[in-house]
């Protein structure tokens, strides 16, 4: 790689979780720390405050294990994908922006957060979600069963619009059932990942 270091001999390195794709932190590397990062597969920075090379995790044990290193189009910024061991921020949070480093399923994650918010803060009169949760786990489970049957029925017909709408209903109610049981979609993802390894 032909790195373009700044006048201080440094290049910014964005650290991204290789799995969740969340940005964990930003640090700076010089030529020596970049070589160590490549050789050891542990993210190593040049610490401007300490004035020395610093392997992330050398004191805490929260290493960033390198998966891939990319250089941007101007050759002056690195994107390093890594697997974090524990929290990344020195203050104990998953990221340096005090965010949870959980899987992001795009709009589905947004939908999960909306379900959680309505379950916690809305009354049954204000929200369909709150009203279903108020009826209890049996009603939620029954609703998922009903939606699953409707998906099967529509799958046997040729109306794609109805099939997609019933599929959306099933997923929506399943997300509610997961939360009623204390889980989220990321828990199902973990089960599937464990199965893939076998």
DSSP-H helix ranges across the chain:
31-40, 107-121, 128-135, 137-155, 160-180, 185-197
d(C-alpha 112, C-alpha 187), whole Å: 13
Question: Each residue of 102-120: pLDDT tens digit?
Answer: 888 989 999 999 999 999 9
Neighbours of 131 (CB within 10 A): 15
Domains delineated in the chain: 11-84 (3.10.20.810), 107-197 (1.10.287.1080)
Question: Each residue of 150-162: pLDDT tens digit?
Answer: 999 999 999 999 9
The model carries a pTM of 0.70
Q: Distance of CA 14 to CAs 29, 49, 71, 80, Å?
A: 10, 18, 10, 6
Token duo for residue 192: 């599937």
What's the angle, vertex CA 57, arms to CA 56 and CA 63, rounded to 5?
85
Question: Each residue of 50-94: pLDDT tens digit?
Answer: 899 999 999 999 999 999 999 999 999 999 999 999 999 999 999
The structure tokens 């108020």 sit at 134
């Amino acid at each position: 790689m032909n790195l373009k270091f700044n006048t201080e001999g440094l290049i910014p390195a964005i650290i991204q979780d290789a799995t969740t794709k969340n940005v964990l932190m930003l640090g700076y590397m010089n030529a020596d720390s970049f070589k160590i990062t490549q050789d050891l597969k542990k993210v190593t920075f040049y610490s401007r405050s300490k004035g020395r090379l610093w392997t992330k995790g050398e004191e805490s044990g929260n290493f960033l294990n390198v998966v891939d290193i990319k250089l941007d189009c101007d050759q002056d910024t690195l994107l390093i994908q890594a697997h974090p061991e524990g929290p990344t921020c020195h203050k104990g949070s998953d990221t340096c922006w005090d965010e949870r480093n959980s899987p992001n399923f795009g709009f589905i994650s947004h939908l999960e957060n909306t379900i959680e918010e309505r379950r916690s803060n809305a009354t049954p009169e204000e929200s369909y979600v709150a009203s279903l949760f108020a009826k209890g786990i049996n009603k939620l489970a029954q609703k998922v069963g009903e939606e699953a049957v409707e998906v099967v029925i529509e799958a046997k017909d040729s109306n794609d619009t109805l099939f997609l709408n019933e599929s959306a209903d099933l997923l929506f109610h399943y997300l509610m059932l997961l939360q009623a049981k204390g889980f989220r979609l990321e828990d199902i993802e973990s089960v599937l990942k464990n199965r893939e390894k076998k």
